[in-house]
Amino acid sequence: METALGYFLISWTDPRLLVLIAVGTFAGIYVGAIPGLSVTMAVSILISFTYAWDTNEALALMVGIYMGGVYGGARTAILLNIPGAPAAIATALDGYPLAKLGEAGKAIGITTVASFFGGFVGILALAIGAPLVAEIALLFAPRDYMLLGIMGLLLVASLSGESLLKGIIAGALGILISMVGLDTMSAQPRLTFGSSALLGGVSYVAVMIGMFGIAEALVQLHGLSAPVIRQKVDRVLPSLATVLRYLPLSLRASALGVWIGALPGAGGDIAALMAYDHAKRSVKNPSRPFGKGAYEGLVAPEAANNAAVGGAFIPMLTLGIPGDAVTAVIIAALFIHGLRPGPNLMVDTPHLFWFTVGNLTLANIFLLIFGLTGIRLFAKIVEVPKAVLLPIVIVLSVVGAYAINNNITDVYWAVGFGIFGYFLRVYGYQLGPVVLGVILGPIVESNFRRTMIAVRESWIGFALELVSHPITLILLLGIIISLLRGTPLWPQLRARFGLRS
């Protein structure tokens, strides 16, 4: 135990490492905030950059960037309605309406505290439950990932706006978009119209930037002459009472985030969407209606995506299995630094586990400090006249789309989906379901196909698979209950079985 504490404190007592984590977290917040620049990209650039460095120093910097980056996406989501990263999509749903109400400062403040809290829960789960959680995560079969994806897709119901039917159309359209490109399972091009530029598919970040950033900018042009919204920046730090009020929700969302983060096939983006869905279903009296500036709609996804950071490290540090794209790059970095990530990592390099836990804790503290400073300045961005702000948002969207893969095709997609999204919006189709479909479509489809292959294409075998495994059965029941709750049948069922809400 003493050695563990010693490893934990390595970075706390070494000023060089301390500075590196601080720099990393700070840089991460801005990398995360800028659409198109991803943490995955930043960390892989760092591999070459830190080639000759000591492993500990490289890791400290990477962990800082990771923690800061997951949080940073919320900034632009709230201020400009462009999620800086996919993990911040759910944050935009209620964050941007808050900015329109003049509460951008308060929104960023609460987001920061929620992220800090979520990050802390994630670290705690990593420190205490890592081996157990990792083993359970391995038990998730393709059928379970499929059901998780379907659970996420149920969010379409609450993102549909005026018409559920239009929401379903939009969601299915999103899934179709996600299917464009080379199907690696069969090495067959799908929906590419014979163009090899389409073989790589449509980047979901490009769709996200187009549908949120560009389409929103076009919609905003309607009210060009409307007076700018004065931002209230007198109280940006949430009061203790506010924090306590959202504590139970933060805790539930964080727990969800840790789990999703620990699953090797799902990361912070899905965790945040599912947490948003959870908040929407479980919070009876939100501060405002969801989608119109509910603080609950900010707290849940932000707590969940930062909790997913600790979660993603669970299978990585215990089994050498990446929990998401960033941890995959960190694993590659470990190889280059002469380590052998795998189930024996903790035996071969015993310091690594507690060293990382210590770094994450530090990064989380820096996140709180950097996150709570400069909010007033940032909130003022929304006060820039629209005639100036909107063209800049469009240029930033274009650069961001290009930066994803250094590919001009992604820019065309972003602009194309921006214009298409604008028309969808004005005709009452919400864009949230489209983006949801693009992100979750591949998880549902590929895992459905895997399950079907495993039962040799038999629908009966498929149905049996769904009811004969405990984890699967729990997920299935969760979906059924969610569906029933939306129908008039639910109150009757509740009365008959005496279920408490």
User: Which positions from 12 through 71 interact with other proteins, judged by CB under 8 A?
Assistant: 31, 34, 37, 40-45, 47-48, 51-52
414-to-83, 205, 209, 218, 402 alpha-carbon distances in Å: 14, 8, 6, 13, 9
From candidates 6, 129, 161, 200, binder to other proteins by CB under 8 A: 200
Look at phi and psi of residue 194 and say left if phi exceeds 0, alpha if psi is from -120 to 50, else beta. left
Q: How far is CA 159 from the centre of its chain?
A: 17
Residue 189: helix, strand or coil by DSSP?
strand
From candidates 12, 342, 351, 383, binder to other proteins by CB under 8 A: 342
From candidates 6, 102, 189, 291, binder to other proteins by CB under 8 A: 189
307-to-65, 112, 255, 496 alpha-carbon distances in Å: 15, 13, 7, 38
Shortest reach from residue 114's CB to other proteins, in Å: 27
The span of 55-63, 107-115, 251-259, 388-396 binding other proteins (CB under 8 A) equals 388-396
Residue 38: helix, strand or coil by DSSP?
coil
Distance, CA of 282 to CA of 175 (rounded, Å): 27
Distance, CA of 314 to CA of 185 (rounded, Å): 28
| Residue 335: Cβ within 10 Å count | 11
Measured from the CB atom, is 12 or 412 closer to other proteins? 412
Distance, CA of 92 to CA of 415 (rounded, Å): 19
- Maximum pairwise Cα distance, the chain: 68
The span of 68-76, 238-246, 355-363, 447-455 binding other proteins (CB under 8 A) equals 447-455
From candidates 396, 431, 435, 438, binder to other proteins by CB under 8 A: 396
Measured from the CB atom, is 196 or 501 closer to other proteins? 196
Distance, CA of 79 to CA of 417 (rounded, Å): 21
Restricted to residues 313-332, the positions that interact with other proteins (CB under 8 A) are 319-322, 325, 328-329, 331-332
Site string for other proteins, 277-306 (x = CB under 8 A): ------------------------------
Quickly list DSSP for 254-308: HHHHHHHHHSTT--HHHHHHHHHHHHHHH-SS-SS-TTS--THHHHHHHHHHHHH
Measured from the CB atom, is 187 or 495 closer to other proteins? 187
Q: Does 349 bind other proteins (CB under 8 A)?
A: no
Q: Does 161 bind other proteins (CB under 8 A)?
A: no
Shortest reach from residue 398's CB to other proteins, in Å: 7
**354, 10, 349, 400: which is closest to 208 by C-alpha?**
400
The span of 61-69, 152-160, 173-181, 481-489 binding other proteins (CB under 8 A) equals 173-181
The span of 98-106, 119-127, 441-449, 487-495 binding other proteins (CB under 8 A) equals 441-449
Restricted to residues 398-437, the positions that interact with other proteins (CB under 8 A) are 398-399, 402-403, 405-408, 411-412, 415, 418-419, 422-423, 426-428
**168, 184, 165, 188: which is closest to 176 by C-alpha?**
168
From candidates 1, 2, 459, 498, binder to other proteins by CB under 8 A: 459
Shortest reach from residue 161's CB to other proteins, in Å: 12
Shortest reach from residue 350's CB to other proteins, in Å: 15
Q: Does 380 bind other proteins (CB under 8 A)?
A: no
Shortest reach from residue 462's CB to other proteins, in Å: 8
**72, 116, 130: which is closest to 307 by C-alpha?**
116
